[in-house]
């Protein structure tokens, strides 16, 4: 493949990667959901949890359906305030990789326990469901549920900066109030300048708004906090290349190649480096 064509492919790929990483929650469940998408869950009042769960059941195999039947039996026996069973429902859907279904059960558990951890368990799974969904109606419903649960977390602990970062990202990516989310992210870094995900998300927002120098500043802060974020060197290199600063772009690309464990990406960036060096 010619170097120029390869660069076009690589740039397109990195846009997808950037979006995925930008949307990644800062909580424990950072793996992107890979399970089948459930159907939109609409009701007259909005979110219909039972309809979503019913739709999700079609993705289960025989053993998983048997496990679900056992949990339903246990819940009928012990009552719907049995948090251990509610938790097991959520874990089952985690294993199937349908975060929206898992979120419903963790939210039901949170309604009984009303703890910061319980609401957080529901919130980041709704957030993951929002990211995984392709149906616009379902995405809107899920981000609204994520916002509601992150809000509960912050009511219980206003100092949970991870939750505030995720909540800000929800507003930026999923609502008509992006500035509300941006202000939340800025509040996080004002309180903790070394908050990695808040700095990272603000860097991505700076790219989107064309504030490239500010994006570089944010990304370099991310690298100071976590030098292992090798992909950030690539993003900085892209910005420098866009600005016409080939020497700095090459420096960042080579740092990415040195530090990244993604060998396919390293090989592709190597071709970009060759093309840039040839054009100097």
Q: Record the pTM.
A: 0.82
Q: What is the pLDDT of residues 159-207, one digit of tens each?
A: 999 999 999 999 999 999 999 999 999 999 999 999 999 999 999 999 9
Question: Which residue has better confidence, 29 or 243?
Answer: 243
Cα–Cα nearest to 59, from 86, 31, 85, 92 = 92
Q: Is the pLDDT of residue 78 over 50?
A: yes
User: What's the rounded Cα separation, in Å, for the pair 141 and 159?
Assistant: 26
Q: Calculate the CA 42 to chain-centre distance.
A: 24
Question: Which residue has better confidence, 89 or 46?
Answer: 89
* 1-28+195-280: CATH superfamily: Tetratricopeptide repeat domain (1.25.40.10)
What is the dihedral sign for C-alpha 182, 183, 187, 190?
A: positive
Q: Is the pLDDT of residue 122 over 80?
A: yes
Which residues, at least 6 apart from 55, have a Cβ–Cβ distance to it below 8 Å?
38, 39, 41
Of 10-19, 22-31, 36-45, 241-250, which has the strongest mean pLDDT?
241-250
Which residues, at least 6 apart from 155, have a Cβ–Cβ distance to it below 8 Å?
none
Which pLDDT belongs to residue 99?
Answer: 97
User: What's the rounded Cα separation, in Å, for the pair 164 and 181?
Assistant: 9
Q: CATH 1.25.40.10 in the chain, residues?
A: 1-28+195-280
Q: Is the pLDDT of residue 42 over 60?
A: no
Q: Is the pLDDT of residue 229 over 80?
A: yes
Which pLDDT belongs to residue 44?
Answer: 36
Q: Is the pLDDT of residue 226 over 80?
A: yes
Q: How far apart are the first and last CA of the chain?
A: 21
* Mean model confidence pLDDT for the chain: 87
Mean pLDDT of 91-118: 97
Q: Calculate the CA 196 to chain-centre distance.
A: 14
Query: Which pair of structure tokens corresponds to residue 151?
Result: 């809000």
Mean pLDDT of 145-161: 98
Q: pLDDT band at residue 47, thresholds of 50, 70 and 90?
A: confident
Cα–Cα nearest to 181, from 21, 23, 17 = 23
Question: Which residue has better confidence, 213 or 7?
Answer: 213
User: What's the rounded Cα separation, in Å, for the pair 152 and 208?
Assistant: 30
Mean pLDDT of 77-90: 96
Query: Which pair of structure tokens corresponds to residue 43?
Result: 């009701």
**Angle, vertex CA 238, rays to CA 236 and CA 242, nearest 5:** 115
Cα–Cα nearest to 116, from 77, 62, 154 = 154
Q: What is the pLDDT of residues 243-273, one digit of tens each?
A: 999 999 999 999 999 999 999 999 999 999 9
Was domain 31-157 assigned CATH 1.25.40?
Answer: yes
């Amino acid at each position: 493949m010619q170097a120029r064509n390869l660069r076009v492919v690589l740039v397109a790929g990195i846009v997808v990667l950037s979006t995925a990483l930008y949307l990644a929650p800062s909580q424990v469940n950072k793996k992107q959901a890979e399970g089948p998408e459930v159907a939109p869950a609409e009701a007259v009042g909005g979110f219909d949890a039972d309809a979503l769960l019913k739709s999700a059941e079609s993705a289960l195999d025989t053993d998983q359906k048997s496990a679900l039947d056992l949990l339903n039996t246990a819940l009928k026996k012990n009552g719907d305030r049995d948090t251990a069973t509610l938790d097991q429902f959520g874990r089952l859907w985690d294993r199937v990789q349908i975060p929206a279904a898992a979120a419903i059960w963790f939210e039901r558990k949170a309604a009984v326990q009303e703890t910061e951890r319980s609401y957080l368990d529901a919130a980041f799974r709704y957030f993951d469901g929002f990211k995984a969904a392709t149906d616009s109606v379902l995405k809107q419903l899920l981000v609204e549920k994520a916002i509601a649960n992150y809000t509960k977390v912050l009511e219980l602990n206003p100092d949970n900066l991870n939750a505030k970062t995720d909540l800000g990202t929800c507003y930026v990516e999923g609502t008509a109030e992006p500035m509300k989310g941006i202000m939340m992210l800025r509040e996080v870094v004002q309180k903790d300048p070394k908050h990695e995900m808040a700095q990272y998300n603000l860097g991505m927002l700076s790219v989107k708004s064309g504030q490239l120098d500010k994006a570089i500043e944010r990304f370099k802060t991310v690298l100071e906090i976590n030098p292992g974020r090798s992909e950030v060197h690539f993003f900085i290199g892209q910005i420098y290349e866009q600005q016409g600063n080939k020497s700095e772009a090459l420096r960042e690309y080579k740092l990415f190649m040195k530090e990244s464990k993604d060998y396919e990406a390293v090989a592709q960036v190597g071709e970009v480096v060759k093309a840039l060096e040839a054009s100097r």
